[in-house]
Amino acid sequence: MPMSQGEYVRSPNRFDERITADGSTRWPVEAGRYRLAVSLACPWAHRSLIARRLLGLEPAISVAVADPIQDERSWRFTLDPDDRDPVLGITYLAEAYHAADPDYDGGISVPAIIDVPSGELVSNDYPQITLDLATEWTAHHRPGAPDLYPKPLRDDIDEINKAVFADVNNGVYRAGFAGKQEVYERAYHRLFARLDALEERLTDQRYLVGDTITEADIRLYTTLARFDAVYHSHFKCNRNKLTEFPALWGYARDLYQTPGFGDTTDFDHIKRHYYQVHTNLNPSQIVPLGPDPDTWLTPHGREQLGGRPFGDGTPPVPTADQPVATEVTNR
């Protein structure tokens, strides 16, 4: 991980080509052509799984799930027979990166969209991937799919996303991987100042922007889902637990109990990845048993705030390739 003056610096996304509906790029929208490589542990990849599920894109875009435990070559498909992804025929995600650029020597990250015929990585640009799923793949959305990035609300969504990314999504990493005390403290205070502001915002409204689920909710949820299980202890973000924020905890449970969120959340993969891969932070590699995942299924009472989760649409129905079961797992 790159560091500057003891501060964690997230690497830019090297592969940022887009898949478009109008033919303006070399990658056209085409059902069955692309495969989405994810880790169920990774919050950035988790976003794409939620969006894909909410929009009903499972028949159009297949998914490859990596082992939550990386080795020196990063993400690997050792959950599959013969340790190879059955569609791409590769053991390591790095093989798709090098098919796109044989000289690439940077980090290997998920989510990654791969062109199946060529085996080339198309994009690892996680912020744009979910936006394009919502706006470029509309011809393949299921009937009743929600509008996750409605045009009238895009400025507001972009604004809240920018703040949440800087202080929360990336903020927990800036705290957890800080190399100096003052750098850690700065990230810590920014994180909890933003969580306090979000707590206030969500006390009287069900969702972050408007009265339906949007891209903004997806981006915040994936960090909240990992907060008490990982970030509170492992990343030293321990002023408060998520469960000690009444509005945020209710909001997170509301989303978790909404199809598309809880059924793509795997606490086992999440905990094993962070606690067993980050040996600099957890040399023993012991994975904590708690928190109790059943608390995510307790009543949240957020319905009284109104709002319509899917707007004029409908919830997604279960599909054969859902990466995890519809109930929380802690295998």
Q: How far apart are CA 133 and CA 304, in angstroms?
A: 31
Q: How far apart are CA 117 and CA 146, in angstroms?
A: 30
Q: Catalytic pick from 173, 188, 221, 256?
A: 173
Cβ contact 199:248 at 8 Å: yes
249 is in an annotated binding site: no
Helix axes 215-226, 43-55, angle to 10 degrees: 130
Backbone angles phi, psi at 19, to 5 degrees: -95, 120
The total number of residues shown for the chain amounts to 331
Dig out the tokens for 305 from the structure. 């705030």
Q: In Å, how far are 52, 66, 275 from 282, measured between CA atoms?
A: 33, 22, 6
Q: Catalytic pick from 34, 42, 149, 207?
A: 42
Cβ contact 184:175 at 8 Å: yes
Burial of 76: CB neighbours in 10 Å, binned 0-12, 13-18, 19+ = buried
Q: How far apart are CA 18 and CA 48, in angstroms?
A: 14
Q: Where are the alpha helices (DSSP H) in 102-260?
A: 126-135, 154-164, 171-176, 181-203, 215-226, 232-234, 246-256
* 173 catalytic residue (yes or no): yes
Q: How far apart are CA 269 and CA 230, in angstroms?
A: 11
Question: In the chain, what's the furthest Cα-to-Cα distance?
Answer: 55
The residues assigned a catalytic role are 42, 173
Binding-site residue numbers for glutathione are: 75
Binding-site residue numbers are: 75
